[in-house]
Chain A
Amino acid sequence: MIPASFDYVAPTTVDEALAALAEHGDDAKVLAGGQSLLPILRMRLNAPGVVVDLGRIPDLQGVCDDGDHIVIGAMTTYAAVLADDLVSTHASLLSKAVATVADPQIRHRGTLGGALVHADPAGDVGAPVLALGAELVVAGPGGQTRTVTADDFFEDLFTTAVGEGELLTQIRIPKHTGWGAHYEKFVRVSHQWSIVAVAATVRSEGGTIAEARVGLTNMGSTPLRAVSVENALVGQPATDEAIRAAVASVADGTNPPSDLNGDSDYRRHLATVLTRRAVLAAAGA
């Protein structure tokens, strides 16, 4: 379908982009990779007056090493994240999750930052970013920046800490060098949004789990972090039996959706199975 007509601006710096957002207020929509925005516009579910395209801002793209963090520009595509050695070395959980996103065409268009700000709870990058304890750098009017932890970033369905007139510019991920990781995604067809997925990364010491991080996809209105399960896993041997017990309560208190792919009870059941599998795989068991 054809979107309603809109004005289009393509700034080349973050400051210009922020200025455009300041000028147009809530009449403006930010275009990152467009993999969610364009269908919304084409189906006329939204009709912004101005679309601000971030695709021509070089500063928002790429991955760099910053000591104990890696820094990923918000406009880095999934494909670029997937191909990046810094990410696969220091945040392999993110690589593994990104590898499952949709299909190659979408991965060459869609961006990490765009997906995070869109904040679809069935999207695949929220849970790993949450599990890895990332910090998100947000630039506001006038160019000042603030840093939001991943725990505070996701507020509700399609809602994040990025406010009106602000832009997510960077994703700073603490290095998890040497951690095992696995993203266990459950879908009916390969290109589908996650029905449920579990992101797990684990630091093992001689067959025992020393630290664990677990994020859940599509188990509520935001990506969720399973802190109690993370704590329960510490000190456990990487065996099926031990992990089965440690993750048994992973779905407690979650409120996943019901739809054609499964009702919420089924999703809660899936979460326990998938978490066990994700942690076992991450622990190399």
Chain B
Amino acid sequence: MTITEDAPTAGPEIGKARRRKEDQRLITGRTRWTDNITLPGMLHLAMVRSPFAHATITAIATDEAKASPGVIAVLTGRDLADGQGVVANAWPITTDQVTPTHLPVAVDRVACAGEIVAIVAARSAAEARDAAELVDVDYDELPAVLDLKEAVKDEVLAHPDLGTNTSAVWTLDSAAQGSGTDVEDEIAKAREDGIVLEREFRQQRLIPAFMEPRSTVCDPTGEQMTVWTSTQVPHILRFLVAATTGMPESKIRIIAPDVGGGFGGKLQTTPEEFATIAVARRLGKPCKYTETRSESLLSGHHGRDQWQKLTLSARKDGTVTGLKVELLADLGAYVGVVGGGVPVLGAWMFNSIYKFAAYHFTVRTLLTNKTWVDAYRGAGRPEATFAVERMMDELAAELGRDPLEVREQNWIRHEEFPFTTVAGMTYDSGNYEAATARAKELFGYDALRAEQQRRREAHDPVQLGIGVSTFTEMCGLAPSRILGALNYGAGGWESASIRMLATGKVEVLTGTSPHGQGHETAWSQIVADRLGVPFEDVEVLHGDSQISSKGMDTYGSRSLVVGAEAVVRAADRVIDKARPIAAHLLEASVDDIEFTAGRFGVKGTDKGITMAEVALATWTGHNLPDGVEPSIDADATFDPDNFSFPHGTHLCAVEVDTETGKTTMRSYVCVDDVGTIINPLIVEGQVHGGVVQGIAQALWEGAEFDEQGTLVTGSFVDYTLPTSADTISLVTDHTVSPSTYTALGTKGVGEAGAIASTPAVVNAIVDAVRHLGVSDITMPCTPERVWKAIQVGSAGATEGERGAAAHFDDGAPNQDSPQPSDTTEGGAQ
């Protein structure tokens, strides 16, 4: 389905594919990103960063840098030690979590390459960079732990003073919490008379790679310190700066102007933000820091990075009885703001849409001497969805049955909603049968299966594979009570205010912080319908703590399902406040007033008054009912009762060139159910972007470090981000099962595509070459890995061995391809 903007029509705004009102200023470059902000007397900062993964700082010589032209100051961590704040972890997942102190600028020791050790402030950015090259830092290198499985052994410690690399162990068990049977019992039964599948998957490390590099401008000269920063979380930053520096929160103003993408990469409160604030305050002058792309790839937080060990038990008829999940999750050198919570967000999702009797989840989070890891589009749920959807394909292969049929045998049927899962989550609504049926139809599933069979029989060098992903996810973070129970450091509510202007125009203040999502357009559509005012009359304001003072910001597909729900409630309060004024002006009883399409009418008459007229009358205050304040403005704060559970069926066909191992996308169909759709064009954009990001994990992206802990994929030459030239046209459609937890019936859509698509692609590749003896390929599925898997598989597999359960006791993961060499010598690129 290709969506184009509807011709202007009457009728409700919700459901209209409006073009985004933000886009003109964004696309024409008229907006001002943080780096465009220039203040009188502003200084520019350049960071001196550690080239070593783990080292003691023995000396820092700054004299030469200080003497460099234009330099105002060169400051080390020691210089800033007091008052530089601390980069905080807001979610200690266990009460005994081991959390290394994360100073914005290192003082004695660096724990990963790229860590800041000194800052130069100069008159120009060029002078700052020149001087930064002159800062001479002496390091004593320490042994670095880089590999997750090595880190478990605690032989080399990422932080020697902590005595262990394990930060926390977090468990969810269906027998222990009473939501299901005991997984060990189910596995034991299946070993006797059933099927046990053991698999180990690698979730490679990814880099969020947002388009706009991070940038911060701090002006400390006013009564309030003002910080412009390229962030998803201006409100959380304000709180954490206050909490860790001792500055009164009331003296801090944070502004997130237009922000060019985040994908979770900007939900961090960063060392660079804290350092810029610290230097500006120290010098009493406005300061700007904008990172280079190389700095962004190295020192912005990374995502994913897990080893996933899975044991699935099933009866011989294909009914899954249990799933046991054991994760090792790499935190990198520090525990980020959400940090260890990211894999925990996957804990409720490995069981996905299925009715497993027993379930067990354990994650061990580990510290290593690599770039820190935190949320990246999907945060925990893509990892879970990948694992379970790979396992369901493995089960189908083991049974010799169609993977959709085996899924359907195990999934929650639409008449069973609301359904409480074995992990303890209650899904409100969904229809997996309907989404799957529609996806199969759009995909031409049966015809592609027939073509696949023909190609196999003909030994075509280009084989066809079909991959399935029937996903759900939990988003709309989050009910505050649940967050409290999980030891999270904040609530999950969202705030909104509506200001009714004298001229009938409407200002909507939202606590969400858009960075590409199109909130201004969608919120305008919602408010236009709710208040009966023209779309064009609604202005959406956000991202400045002086304007939108309360909020929990934007991540976890929460803005529409939490933030817009607050907007709806504020709008309803505006109507409630306007109603007695309208009744008074119409000389009618409040009980006789009806509000429809922006007009307060008197029942049974043609008398009425518009919302704009009420707003003007309120503003003049000349003729209001006794005791009524001259304001119809309203605030609302919404705390959801539950998460939002979008779902969908994604089908992917790939062609694998068995001579080279290269995968080419042939067809991709996704039918998502995101509940009620406010703006189909925006939803389409979210699905496209998310799906491609998920495909990129399957095929192209991966952050790789060498044995010294240097990021090898430190530029876009080596971190192979796809472009539109590498993707195909996606076929998208929707089923609509409205959420029962939101007034609008919406479910989150920001991450769904990225959560769903990765396993669809890998399943398709494995499906293309499974008959050649391949049962897994490590991501990213590079041509080399695919080709080598075919070589090993074709040489080593016999008919009887295919799909046989791998046993963890053998030590190695069940990867068919040997790990390719990560060496880069001789690489001319």
- Do B294 and A1 touch (CB < 8 A)? yes
* Chain A, residue nearest B699 (CB): A188
| Separation of A158 and B702 alpha carbons in the complex (Å) | 28
A250-278 interface code vs B (CB 8 A; 1 in, 0 out): 00000011111111101001100110000
- Do A266 and B784 touch (CB < 8 A)? yes
Q: In the complex, what residues of A have CB within 8 A of residue B704's CB?
A: 260
- Do A263 and B784 touch (CB < 8 A)? yes
The prevalent SS among residues of A at the interface is loop
- Do A189 and B828 touch (CB < 8 A)? no
- Do A189 and B129 touch (CB < 8 A)? no
- Do A193 and B829 touch (CB < 8 A)? yes
- Do B828 and A218 touch (CB < 8 A)? yes
B294-330 interface code vs A (CB 8 A; 1 in, 0 out): 1000000000000000000000000000000000000
* Chain A, residue nearest B125 (CB): A2
A118-136 interface code vs B (CB 8 A; 1 in, 0 out): 0011100000000000000
Q: From the candidates B133, B659, B713, B784, name the one contacting A262 in the complex (CB within 8 A).
A: B784
Is B726 part of the binding interface, using a Cβ–Cβ cutoff of 8 Å? yes
For the A-B complex, the count of residue pairs with Cβ-Cβ distances under 8 Å equals: 95
Is B821 part of the binding interface, using a Cβ–Cβ cutoff of 8 Å? yes
Most chain A beta-carbon neighbours within 10 Å: one of B713, B787, B827: B827
| Separation of A266 and B783 alpha carbons in the complex (Å) | 9
With A120-B828, A259-B823, A259-B824 as known contacts, state yes or no: A189 contacts B723, CB within 8 Å: yes
- Do B828 and A258 touch (CB < 8 A)? no
Q: In the complex, what residues of A have CB within 8 A of residue B822's CB?
A: 260
B800-829 contacts to A, CB under 8 A, are 820-829
Is A191 part of the binding interface, using a Cβ–Cβ cutoff of 8 Å? yes
Q: In the complex, what residues of A have CB within 8 A of residue B722's CB?
A: 189
- Do B660 and A2 touch (CB < 8 A)? no
With A2-B129, A190-B726, A266-B787 as known contacts, state yes or no: A258 contacts B825, CB within 8 Å: yes
Chain A residues with a Cβ closer than 8 Å to the other chain, count:
36
Minimum C-beta distance from B314 to chain A (A): 36
Q: In the complex, what residues of A have CB within 8 A of residue B546's CB?
A: none
Q: From the candidates B129, B702, B828, name the one contacting A121 in the complex (CB within 8 A).
A: B828
Minimum C-beta distance from A205 to chain B (A): 29
* Chain A, residue nearest B721 (CB): A189
Q: From the candidates A4, A189, A260, A273, name the one contacting B824 in the complex (CB within 8 A).
A: A260
Q: In the complex, what residues of B have CB within 8 A of residue A103's CB?
A: 723, 725
With A2-B126, A121-B828 as known contacts, state yes or no: A262 contacts B783, CB within 8 Å: yes
| Separation of A158 and B829 alpha carbons in the complex (Å) | 12
- Do A189 and B660 touch (CB < 8 A)? no
Is A38 part of the binding interface, using a Cβ–Cβ cutoff of 8 Å? no
Is A157 part of the binding interface, using a Cβ–Cβ cutoff of 8 Å? yes
Q: In the complex, what residues of A have CB within 8 A of residue B826's CB?
A: 221, 256-259, 264
B449-497 contacts to A, CB under 8 A, are none
- Do B662 and A269 touch (CB < 8 A)? no
Q: In the complex, what residues of A have CB within 8 A of residue B660's CB?
A: 186, 270, 273-274
B686-734 contacts to A, CB under 8 A, are 699-700, 702, 704, 712-713, 717-718, 720-723, 725-726
Q: From the candidates A158, A186, A258, name the one contacting B821 in the complex (CB within 8 A).
A: A258
Is B130 part of the binding interface, using a Cβ–Cβ cutoff of 8 Å? yes
Is B788 part of the binding interface, using a Cβ–Cβ cutoff of 8 Å? yes
Q: In the complex, what residues of A have CB within 8 A of residue B725's CB?
A: 103, 189-191
- Do A44 and B713 touch (CB < 8 A)? no
Is A192 part of the binding interface, using a Cβ–Cβ cutoff of 8 Å? yes
- Do B828 and A1 touch (CB < 8 A)? no
| Separation of A260 and B827 alpha carbons in the complex (Å) | 9
* Chain B, residue nearest A277 (CB): B659
Q: In the complex, what residues of A have CB within 8 A of residue B133's CB?
A: 4, 44
Minimum C-beta distance from B553 to chain A (A): 30
Is A5 part of the binding interface, using a Cβ–Cβ cutoff of 8 Å? yes
With A186-B660, A270-B660 as known contacts, state yes or no: A263 contacts B723, CB within 8 Å: no
Minimum C-beta distance from B28 to chain A (A): 19
Is B589 part of the binding interface, using a Cβ–Cβ cutoff of 8 Å? no
With A190-B723, A191-B723 as known contacts, state yes or no: A257 contacts B784, CB within 8 Å: no
Is A83 part of the binding interface, using a Cβ–Cβ cutoff of 8 Å? no
* Chain A, residue nearest B663 (CB): A188
Is A43 part of the binding interface, using a Cβ–Cβ cutoff of 8 Å? yes
* Chain A, residue nearest B725 (CB): A190
Minimum C-beta distance from A254 to chain B (A): 12
B111-131 contacts to A, CB under 8 A, are 125-126, 129-130
A198-212 contacts to B, CB under 8 A, are none
| Separation of A258 and B784 alpha carbons in the complex (Å) | 11
Minimum C-beta distance from A27 to chain B (A): 18
| Separation of A188 and B820 alpha carbons in the complex (Å) | 16
- Do B823 and A258 touch (CB < 8 A)? yes
Q: From the candidates B125, B126, B130, B784, name the one contacting A261 in the complex (CB within 8 A).
A: B784
- Do B129 and A1 touch (CB < 8 A)? yes
| Separation of A157 and B717 alpha carbons in the complex (Å) | 18
- Do A122 and B783 touch (CB < 8 A)? no
- Do A263 and B820 touch (CB < 8 A)? yes
Minimum C-beta distance from B819 to chain A (A): 11
* Chain A, residue nearest B704 (CB): A260
Is B292 part of the binding interface, using a Cβ–Cβ cutoff of 8 Å? yes
| Separation of A1 and B125 alpha carbons in the complex (Å) | 9
* Chain A, residue nearest B128 (CB): A2
Binding site for B on A (CB under 8 A): 1-2, 4-5, 43-44, 103, 120-122, 157-158, 186, 188-193, 195, 218, 221, 256-264, 266, 269-270, 273-274
Q: Told that A122-B829, A259-B824 touch, could you supply 5 new A-B pairs with CB distance under 8 A?
A: A122-B828, A190-B723, A193-B828, A262-B784, A263-B821
Binding site for A on B (CB under 8 A): 125-126, 129-130, 133, 292, 294, 659-660, 662, 699-700, 702, 704, 712-713, 717-718, 720-723, 725-726, 782-784, 787-788, 820-829
**Selected A-B contacts with CB under 8 Å, 14 pairs:** A121-B828, A188-B700, A188-B720, A189-B721, A190-B723, A191-B725, A257-B827, A259-B823, A262-B782, A262-B783, A263-B820, A264-B826, A269-B787, A274-B660
